[in-house]
A and B are shown apart, each in its own frame.
Chain A
Amino acid sequence: MQGWVTLALLLSLGVECSLGQNGVGELPVPRGLTLNPDLPAQTLSLTWQSDSSLFDLEIFHTELMNVVLNETVAVKTDPVTGLHSWTWHSPLPLECTSHSAHIRARNQQSVSQWSPLQTIPGSDIPEKSESNMFPQDKVVPVGSNMTFCCIVKEKEDFKEIMYGRQEMSATRLSRRTYAITATNQPVSGNTGTNVICCSQRLTLTGAVVFVGYPPGDEGLVCETRDLASAECSWKKGRDTGLRMRRSRTKYTLNGRDCLEANERKRWWCSSKAWEQSWTLVARNPLGTVQLTDSAQLTDRVHLLAPVNVTAVEVKAWSATLQWSWSVAAYKKLEMVCQLQLFAHELNSTRNYSGPGLSSVVLESLWPDVDYTVTLYCGSKHGFWKWGDKSAPYRIHTKMDRPDALDVWMWMDSSNTGRVFWKPLSVRKSHGALVGYEVSQSSAEEDGWTPVSLPPGNFSYPIILNNGSDITVAVAARNPAGLSQPSTVTTPAYRADSQLSMSELLSTNGSFVLSWQPNANASSGYAVEWVPTGCSGLCPVDWKKVPESDSSFTLNSDSLVAGVRYTVSVYALSTGAPTLLQRWQGYSQEMTPSQSVRELLPNQSGSDVLLSWKATAMENQRGFIRGYTIYLANAAHLELIANISDPEVQSYRVKGLSLSSYKFVVKAYTSAGEDAGATVAIKMEMDTADMLFVGILVPLGIMFCCLILISICCYKKREWVKKAFYPEIPGPKVPGDWSSPQGPLDVKPSPHSLVHIVESPEWDFTKEGLFPVPEEEEESENDNIEVDADSDEPALLRYYNQVVGDGSHGNQVSDSSGSSNTSVDSTQTEITYAGIQSPTSSQGACGGGGYRPQMQSVIGPAEPQIEFEADFQDDGLHAGYKPQCSWQLDSPEAENFSGSLGSPTSVTSSQFLIPESSEEKPQPSNTWFHNFLSGKS
């Protein structure tokens, strides 16, 4: 029994020890836990009383008792209130669902009991039956994550939550609450981002979130415009993306609201008084930016624009400009002003300074010029920046007398010349010119003879009556008056031929001239250049060089490429200019624009002498360095000579044979050859040669040929005879014909005659020839003889087919019983009309003899009468006609008529020998005659 008691005590102690180790009963439970939610901030403040300083906290979503926080925190007692407080930031708006929390004290491993649960109700409690969404109108930075919840109306189902157009996956938090989390949110549009909660059939509710940036303003600068107040400006920086009034950036300058920026959306603020330092605070719901600036007032003067700018006194060469200031304080300010003068090619900028500057004298203006003046000023001491520009003001200066003209005289002969002057530039005319006055005087005449010329003239002709020098004075006139006259005395005329001119080579298109200084050049030198050989109104140009210079570079821009210039240097003095030196040259040589002239060939035996003349100087476009002579072949030019002496203008081409030739002569300069002049020549023989070659030689050749052919024919006469006149085999007659048994009856065989009759069975539309024996009572077979030499099997087959179709095929009558008849064995009957007639047979065949009928010609039948008549004609001149070609059937009348007289197949109705001239066989000796006569 004692043992059981002892065991019970030990167990109880053990339990107590174990309980004591867990802390139950030792650590007091925190008291008075209260929850204070801050709904907009989504924070929950917990306050409680306890002696401990380490606590375990648990927060739940009440309805489903999901733990959303389980944390151990060390919280000290607030010495003032004696309470512990701890704040939890909820990722979920606290309205979304009810939250409950409890707390327990912890001391290392020992903990107290949990305090009773404290709950704050959400908006999903049954008392709030409507749909709702949280948070509403939250402003968050771009890229942040955010949780939205939708509380579904009672008795309504839930389908989805849309973030903009994006369907989000929702999490259920309670019976009616669903939540989504939008991550890395992009910047919103004007009206924020819509988040919409939908049921299966309708949209339930929604919220708007504004996603943007904190202020990005920068670069605060303050300055004064009136030397008293301040204007501070800055750059807006990055757009916050927040448009709604309550989330726009608000600005304060030194603690005062900046109305200009807040109300008028401008990026500057004004202050009535200058302060040493400035602080701008830009604030929006997402952040704050603070900008500072500090400066002395005198260092930040930004002057306003001058007003009432006027020109009080405008002259030809100067003007006085006045203006006023809208701020009285400027009058004592030491300032610097800048004037910008704009005119055509006369732009300039001038600086003026002084206290309260309000007028300046503009010097060094040009007469009769339209100026536009713009004015702006700045503080001279501690210059900050130029002030605003005044409105442009226009000044037109008055006119003045023109400058003296640059005059030169050019003599084109000993007693004629022309005085030239250069047009005055705008800077020198000082007003639009109205004309020129030219006066001349000579030693013999007293006084000047003035002539007025319109403003477009720049030269005037001069004539020397008696060879004495003339002095010409030229002056320009504009509305302001006449310029100083410029005088020039006629220089002595020196023709180019009188001078030894040197060739002037250009350097990069320019002429570099130099000459020996002349003691008489008291007024300097004049360089004159004019196209060589020019007469009349020539483009004379000149340049006057000071007496200290003895060189001059004539630039390419006053020269034309490919034009030869005569360049002269004159020494100028009080009297007439004296010619010092003269050159000729091209600024840039080019190939001649025209070929040589008058290119002529002259045959001399087997040689050809080519002669030509150089092209005109204006077409040479460079110094002619020589000529090249080419022989033109079909595809290319063959160089046959290169004449490097331009004075040589002929060339002899030697040893040419009798043929046609084409020669090309090209002149060349240092730039190359011209296109070339072409001349053609046909080399001809002399008269004696022509007689020999043209007549005797062909005659001799022909004679030799005739003899050769004759000899050849004689020696080969057997072959010739066999080839052209073969032996006609004699008829083989059965029986012994060697000795006459009786007098030869030369009476024609009664069977050899052919009667041509119309067949009563034949189609009346087709007329045919039918051999009809003269004596019909004779048997058909008695006189038929097969001609083994004539009919080819193919031809016979063909005839067979044609004849077989005819209705008259079986009406073949007997032909002649003699061997001359070419009737075939059993199927085809062909006949020669009148072939047995001794007269007609001899006449038709020329040489007579046997004629195998090998030609198969298909053709329509023809009238009997015509056939007989034409055959007779044909037979008189046709000679031997081997019938070895096919003539296609042709129903046309012309072919029909063309075949009249031809031997005709009785059964095929074809012409056997065509009559057309084209197909008429030549007589056997025709080629031989042609050969002898030289015909081809």
Chain B
Amino acid sequence: NHIQNKSFCVHNVCVCTVYLSYLGPPFSDPGFSPPRPNSSSLSVPSAATRVDLWRGLENGARLAQNQRAYSVLLCAVRELARSTLCPYLQSSLMHFCSGLSGLLGSISGLMNALGYTSLPPSTPAQGYAPLLSSQFQNMEGFWVLRELQSWLWRSAKDFTRLKKRLQRLATTVHGLN
């Protein structure tokens, strides 16, 4: 919750809300759900994995998926910021990107500390992006933000669970010693 609240809202206004208003109706209408673009260009990993499967993953695997998701989402949000015409919204998105970047660094540091292999830092894709329709971009932006929201919720739970496990493990190790 802390991650989400701190990073997804700027000056008490959530970037998500502002961005959806920017996209206009019906994107800004509550309950609107456009189809998720099924394109290779939107490589945002979905957080809609079944809960039982997700919980069955090892810590390392789950952290790795978090890291991959945020790497892709960071690039996607940067692209949203770049293509945004509204200066205020652009600065808000860039501010949010810096928060995401910090989160990504924390995940990498945690993985290294626990001995898991972390992904190399992603580099922005070079070259021209394919010409997409505005509708497609709007839907992509919508889904980037929706996935980002889902991932932030999931990560908050993951880190809480991981913290408990590590504390339990540390207690056990301390008891054995």
Report A-chain residues with C-beta under 8 Å of the C-beta of B23: 191, 194
Q: How far is the CA of A386 from the CA of B25 in the complex (A)?
A: 50
Q: How far is the CA of A243 from the CA of B24 in the complex (A)?
A: 14
Question: Do A189 and B34 touch (CB < 8 A)?
Answer: no
CB distance from A442 to the nearest CB of B (A): 86
B177: CB under 8 A from chain A?
Answer: no
Report B-chain residues with C-beta under 8 Å of the C-beta of A164: 24-26
Question: Do B26 and A162 touch (CB < 8 A)?
Answer: yes
Question: Do A165 and B29 touch (CB < 8 A)?
Answer: yes
Report A-chain residues with C-beta under 8 Å of the C-beta of B135: 133, 136-137, 194, 205-208
A190: CB under 8 A from chain B?
Answer: yes
Question: Do B86 and A194 touch (CB < 8 A)?
Answer: no
Q: How far is the CA of A913 from the CA of B133 in the complex (A)?
A: 120
Report A-chain residues with C-beta under 8 Å of the C-beta of B26: 162, 164-165, 194, 196
- Residue interface bits A845-879, CB-to-B below 8 A is 1, else 0: 00000000000000000000000000000000000
Q: How far is the CA of A206 from the CA of B23 in the complex (A)?
A: 13
Report B-chain residues with C-beta under 8 Å of the C-beta of A306: none
Question: Do B35 and A243 touch (CB < 8 A)?
Answer: no
B113: CB under 8 A from chain A?
Answer: no
A932: CB under 8 A from chain B?
Answer: no
Q: In the complex, which of the residues B34, B133, B135 has the most CB atoms of chain A within 10 Å of its own CB atom?
A: B135
Question: Do B134 and A191 touch (CB < 8 A)?
Answer: yes
Could you tell me the dominant secondary structure of chain B's interface residues?
loop
Question: Do A190 and B138 touch (CB < 8 A)?
Answer: no
Give the nearest-CB partner of B32 in chain A: A203
Would A194 and B29 be within 8 Å (CB), given that A206-B34, A208-B134 are in contact? no
Report B-chain residues with C-beta under 8 Å of the C-beta of A190: 22, 24, 85-86
B65: CB under 8 A from chain A?
Answer: no
Question: Do B35 and A204 touch (CB < 8 A)?
Answer: yes
Question: Do B85 and A196 touch (CB < 8 A)?
Answer: no
CB distance from A130 to the nearest CB of B (A): 9
A464: CB under 8 A from chain B?
Answer: no
Would A136 and B133 be within 8 Å (CB), given that A196-B26, A208-B138 are in contact? yes
Question: Do B34 and A203 touch (CB < 8 A)?
Answer: yes
B25 touches which of A194, A202, A207 (Cβ 8 Å): A194
- Which residues of chain A in 348-369 are interfacial with respect to chain B, using CB atoms and an 8 Å cutoff? none
Report B-chain residues with C-beta under 8 Å of the C-beta of A193: 24
CB distance from B78 to the nearest CB of A (A): 17
Q: How far is the CA of A189 from the CA of B139 in the complex (A)?
A: 16
Would A194 and B35 be within 8 Å (CB), given that A137-B133, A165-B29, A189-B24 are in contact? no
CB distance from A182 to the nearest CB of B (A): 14
Q: How far is the CA of A454 from the CA of B162 in the complex (A)?
A: 88
Q: How far is the CA of A207 from the CA of B132 in the complex (A)?
A: 11
Would A194 and B27 be within 8 Å (CB), given that A206-B34, A206-B135, A207-B135 are in contact? yes
Would A191 and B138 be within 8 Å (CB), given that A202-B33, A203-B35, A243-B85 are in contact? yes
- Residue interface bits B34-62, CB-to-A below 8 A is 1, else 0: 11000000000000000000000000000
A192: CB under 8 A from chain B?
Answer: yes
A244: CB under 8 A from chain B?
Answer: yes
Question: Do B33 and A194 touch (CB < 8 A)?
Answer: no
CB distance from A269 to the nearest CB of B (A): 23
Report A-chain residues with C-beta under 8 Å of the C-beta of B86: 190
Report A-chain residues with C-beta under 8 Å of the C-beta of B138: 191, 194, 206, 208
Report A-chain residues with C-beta under 8 Å of the C-beta of B133: 136-137, 207-208
Q: How far is the CA of A204 from the CA of B27 in the complex (A)?
A: 14
Q: In the complex, which of the residues B24, B27, B85, B139 has the most CB atoms of chain A within 10 Å of its own CB atom?
A: B24
CB distance from B137 to the nearest CB of A (A): 9
Q: How far is the CA of A133 from the CA of B27 in the complex (A)?
A: 17
- Residue interface bits B73-103, CB-to-A below 8 A is 1, else 0: 0000000000001100000000000000000
Q: How far is the CA of A137 from the CA of B135 in the complex (A)?
A: 8
Would A191 and B139 be within 8 Å (CB), given that A203-B33, A208-B134 are in contact? no
Report B-chain residues with C-beta under 8 Å of the C-beta of A205: 35, 135
Report A-chain residues with C-beta under 8 Å of the C-beta of B32: 203
Q: How far is the CA of A164 from the CA of B29 in the complex (A)?
A: 10
Question: Do A244 and B134 touch (CB < 8 A)?
Answer: yes
Question: Do A192 and B34 touch (CB < 8 A)?
Answer: no
- Which residues of chain A in 168-217 are interfacial with respect to chain B, using CB atoms and an 8 Å cutoff? 189-194, 196, 202-208, 210
Report B-chain residues with C-beta under 8 Å of the C-beta of A165: 25-26, 29
Q: How far is the CA of A194 from the CA of B142 in the complex (A)?
A: 13
CB distance from A246 to the nearest CB of B (A): 9
CB distance from B18 to the nearest CB of A (A): 12
Question: Do A137 and B24 touch (CB < 8 A)?
Answer: no
Q: How far is the CA of A208 from the CA of B25 in the complex (A)?
A: 11
Question: Do A194 and B24 touch (CB < 8 A)?
Answer: yes
Report B-chain residues with C-beta under 8 Å of the C-beta of A202: 33, 35
Q: How far is the CA of A691 from the CA of B31 in the complex (A)?
A: 115
- Which residues of chain A in 93-150 are interfacial with respect to chain B, using CB atoms and an 8 Å cutoff? 131, 133, 136-137
Report A-chain residues with C-beta under 8 Å of the C-beta of B29: 165
CB distance from B139 to the nearest CB of A (A): 7
CB distance from B143 to the nearest CB of A (A): 12
Q: How far is the CA of A136 from the CA of B26 in the complex (A)?
A: 17
CB distance from A578 to the nearest CB of B (A): 84
Report A-chain residues with C-beta under 8 Å of the C-beta of B35: 131, 202-205
Q: How far is the CA of A204 from the CA of B25 in the complex (A)?
A: 16
Q: How far is the CA of A204 from the CA of B24 in the complex (A)?
A: 18
Report A-chain residues with C-beta under 8 Å of the C-beta of B25: 164-165, 194
Question: Do B34 and A191 touch (CB < 8 A)?
Answer: no
**A-B interface, 5 closest residue pairs, ranked by CB to CB distance from nearest:** A208-B134, A136-B133, A165-B25, A206-B135, A203-B34
- On A, residues with C-beta under 8 Å from B are 131, 133, 136-137, 162, 164-165, 189-194, 196, 202-208, 210, 243-244
- On B, residues with C-beta under 8 Å from A are 22-27, 29, 32-35, 85-86, 133-135, 138-139
6 more CB-based (< 8 A) A-B contacts, given A190-B86, A193-B24: A137-B134, A165-B25, A191-B138, A194-B138, A203-B33, A208-B133
Listed by A's residue number, 8 A-B pairs whose Cβ atoms lie within 8 Å are: A131-B35, A164-B26, A194-B27, A194-B138, A203-B32, A208-B133, A243-B85, A244-B134
